[in-house]
Amino acid sequence: MSITPEFSGRQRSRNKHQFKQTLDRFISPLRHLSRAHGSVVSAQAVRAQQGKCDHDATGRCNEMENTRTMKSQLVEKNDYAVGVDVGGTHTDLVLSGPNGLVRSKSFTTHGDYSVGIFNALELAANQLGQERDEVLAQCHAFINGSTIVTNAITELRGAKVGVLITRGFKDTFRLASGARRVEYDDHLQTPPPDVVARDCIEEISERVMSNGEIAVPLDEVEVRAAVRRLRDNGVEAIAICYLWSFSDGTNEKRTREIVLEEIPGIFITLSSEVHPVVGEYPRFMTAVFNCLSHRATTRYVEGLQTQLGNAGFTGTLTFFQGIGGSVGAEAVQAKPVTLMQSGPAGGVMGARHAAARLGLTNIFVGDMGGTSFDTAVLPNLEPSIAKQATFGPFHTGINMLDIVSVGAGGGSVAWLDGRGVPQVGPHSAGSEPGPACYGRGGTEPTVTDANVILGLIDPGNYLNGRHQLSVADASAAVKNRIGDPLGWDVKQAAAGIYDLAVIEMANALRVVSIERGHHPRDFTFFSYGGGLGLFAVEICRRLGCPSIVIPDNSSAFSAYGVLIADYVRQYEQTVNWDLSDPSQADRINEAMAVMLSQAKHDAGLEGIAPGDLSVERSGDFRFLGQTYEVTVPLQDVDFVPADAARLADDFPRVYERNYGEGTAWKGSPVVLMTLSTRVIHHRPKPTERQQAVVVGVPTPQPVGERSVFLPSERRDAVLPIYAEADLIPGAVVNGPCIVDVGDTTIYVPEGSECGRDQYFNFTLTA
């Protein structure tokens, strides 16, 4: 028998009349202010507006303190929901309630991520005049996006993984399907790093054929001996990776039973369950990465569950996935790899929702955080899915939103390469120590340091004045590392760093737009993240994109996207249907039924009824003999034999829409390789502020001015500063100027103008 590897391809029961006047007294003003002046308001601000707020020597509102308990009792249980995005530098949070949205931002605490989360939550609660635990006690949902899995996989730091693999295929991980760096000199080629140590890979005698037939029975004695060796070797998780197991997972399932008999309680991943798709290397790597990231994910999830519970939270804790939806804690602990790139995915889904409200059809998005710049394109508001995503040299079976990331965040370090040419990123200063201007001991110049030197950021009002930035420290870092070696003064060097960041981000946007057949002139750029408002116009001018939207809550927009997330699960199964054989339709229908049954079962575990699920189907097609597939949407109906010919006839047209006229292999048999079933439960969306646009609103008066070194013109200028609260819907200011939002800043260059729409989004022209 030849051994052939696979090939890829309220309840308000106490709402008594005697409470009504008191409830209206405290809640109605909040609603009024939320609609008219913004969602970030406090009870203290309301009382001050009414002229009835007494303050003590510290400025604390005494009447607010006296009424806080009453308010907590009056506000209905389950009024609040929280969305969190834990980034590399900042932890962003958006809190929704009956009066709109409140946002906050804190530094990410890498030693214990929950510290940064609770810091941000306390800041948000304080804006409502409540304590953190009071808000949590009234919260029905807490949705979390994080970098836990992304960090574990990119750094290859996690649980010690053992692998049980089909005999003869131990080197699958080392060969890595031939994946190598693009190098002209073969002597510089190196194999991918070992994710699993060689002595932690055990070969097992078993064999399943491509049609699901078990050709070699599982050698259970061999399995037990191998598992004991792995146990003695100290493995913390085991990936079971058998060839063609997606066609019949019997051997993998029996192996799991044996492993649990030998090592009770150990975490196990079956390749046939985590990614039942043809292609052994991506499937095996997905199983291994699932094991690698399990320990960190479990600690994070269980720790957050405990701490939220101790703080009085009794609602539902869910986690945002890279595919663009949220699922429960048990689901992500079983399959942590679904959390990969969950933070950036939140922003994409938030932009999709916001763009739909505005009636836009084509957008591309950019998210500039502290560590990276992430971008994606959404033609017809449909985000692309990266199937079998690649991380570094590793090909996996992980599906997630197609997001391109570059190291051009606020904390990205500027440096000189071996030729003395300045570069920006990919290394980031993070939050500890952070940019030099943070005054935490950082000495490397960053993009944020450059913005402080240029005057684009107010060093005395960073994050609404909660942190003071040091211009001197920023100048010293830029001078020592960039300016002096190049013979430039500090401002010129800072402007150069700014330009490099613009170029990096514009190039990333070019990848997702022009290189994929989308011209930026036909798209609107959704710009968000704490730092991107300083760069958005300059980026779009390089690309020819005429319009920009900086959404409300832009500094915490990924957290906003996490907050509005729907329940989403995706299931796949390779079926390998040669459409020249229509008799296979019943077999394909059975595979679809199994996936849908599993989807309904999983949703039921989270309290979602089958009737509340929306179902989307798709198939991965290719011409016979091709290696890779094209994904085609399918109707949510069973196949009949006549569908085979129809699908085969339609595929060349779909193929040529993707790759150009004349590229289809007409006359070749067409194969439906893999079926996908995606189920969605649409969750209620939070209340957001809205106000009609007023035509002819006078230009607001500046609240101040600041000396700025204009980076694109290389000259000093004094720019007017406008307060975010003064730009009501319909108001417009002309550049050059700066709009101070408190937790972010918008730079409006010469020739551009900035207005505001009915949803309080900033709209700019390039």
Residue 407 — pLDDT band, cuts 50, 70, 90?
A: confident
Angle at the Cα of 186 from the Cα atoms of 185 and 187, rounded to 5 degrees: 90
To the nearest whole number, what is the mean pLDDT of the chain?
87
Write the single-letter amino acid at 650. Answer: D
39: pLDDT strictly greater than 90: no
51: pLDDT strictly greater than 70: no
User: How many other CB atoms sit within 10 Å of the CB of residue 194?
Assistant: 12
% of residues, the chain, pLDDT over 70? 89
Q: For the domain 567-681, what is the CATH code?
A: 3.30.1490
- When pLDDT is averaged across residues 342-359 and rounded to a whole number, the result is 94
Lowest mean pLDDT among 7-11, 336-340, 344-348, 661-665: 7-11
User: How many other CB atoms sit within 10 Å of the CB of residue 727?
Assistant: 22
Residue 763 — pLDDT band, cuts 50, 70, 90?
A: very high
- Please give the helix or strand (H or E) that residue 320 lies within, else none: strand 316-320
What residue spans define the domains of the chain?
Answer: 10-74, 159-289, 567-681, 704-765
31: pLDDT strictly greater than 70: no
Q: What is the DSSP string of 420-474?
A: S-EEEEEEE-TTTT-SGGG-SS--S-BHHHHHHHHTSS-TTSBTTTTB---HHHH
| Residue 249 to residue 271: CA distance in whole angstroms | 9
Comparing 425 with 181, the larger pLDDT belongs to 425
Dihedral sign from CA coordinates of 534, 537, 538, 539 = positive
CA dihedral 123, 124, 130, 136 (to 10 degrees): -110
pLDDT score recorded for residue 182? 67
pLDDT score recorded for residue 754? 97
- Please give the helix or strand (H or E) that residue 148 lies within, else none: helix 148-155
Please measure the distance between the N-terminal and C-terminal CA atoms of the chain and give it in whole angstroms.
Answer: 65
Dihedral sign from CA coordinates of 275, 280, 282, 286 = positive
Write the single-letter amino acid at 79. Answer: D
| Residue 517 to residue 504: CA distance in whole angstroms | 20
Angle at the Cα of 108 from the Cα atoms of 103 and 110, rounded to 5 degrees: 155
Lowest mean pLDDT among 54-63, 189-198, 218-227, 544-553: 54-63
Report pLDDT digits (tens) over 458-495.
998 888 778 889 999 999 999 999 999 999 999 999 99
SS (H, E, C) 732-745: EEECCEEEECCCCE
17: pLDDT strictly greater than 70: no
pLDDT score recorded for residue 91? 94
Report pLDDT digits (tens) over 706-732.
999 999 999 999 999 999 999 999 999
What's the pTM value of the predicted model, to 2 decimals? Answer: 0.84
CATH architecture under which domain 159-289 falls: 3-Layer(aba) Sandwich (3.40)
Beta strands per DSSP E along 658-752: 670-681, 704-710, 715-723, 732-734, 737-740, 745-748
Residue 693 — pLDDT band, cuts 50, 70, 90?
A: very high
- When pLDDT is averaged across residues 206-228 and rounded to a whole number, the result is 96
Report pLDDT digits (tens) over 572-614.
999 999 999 999 999 999 999 999 999 999 999 999 999 999 9
Residue appearing with tokens 């429960």: 328
Max avg pLDDT among 17-26, 58-67, 170-179: 170-179
Q: Which 3 state secondary structure label does DSSP give 760?
A: coil
145: pLDDT strictly greater than 50: yes
Report pLDDT digits (tens) over 158-214.
999 999 999 999 999 988 877 666 667 777 777 788 899 999 999 999 999 999 999
User: How many other CB atoms sit within 10 Å of the CB of residue 334?
Assistant: 17
Residue 67 — pLDDT band, cuts 50, 70, 90?
A: very low
60: pLDDT strictly greater than 50: no
pLDDT score recorded for residue 601? 96
Residue 661 CB-density burial (10 A; 0-12 exposed, 13-18 middle, 19+ buried) = exposed
% of residues, the chain, pLDDT over 90? 72
Q: Which residues contact 163 (CB under 8 A, 6 or more apart)?
A: 173, 196, 200, 201, 202, 238, 239, 240, 241, 284, 288
Q: Which residues contact 554 (CB under 8 A, 6 or more apart)?
A: 527, 528, 529, 532, 533, 741, 744, 762
Q: Which 3 state secondary structure label does DSSP give 549?
A: strand
pLDDT score recorded for residue 429? 86
CB hemisphere CA count around 176 (13 angstroms)? 18
- When pLDDT is averaged across residues 525-537 and rounded to a whole number, the result is 95
23: pLDDT strictly greater than 70: no
Report pLDDT digits (tens) over 259-307.
999 999 999 999 999 999 999 999 999 999 999 999 999 999 999 999 9
H helix runs in 544-641, sequence order? 557-563, 585-605
Residue 61 — pLDDT band, cuts 50, 70, 90?
A: very low
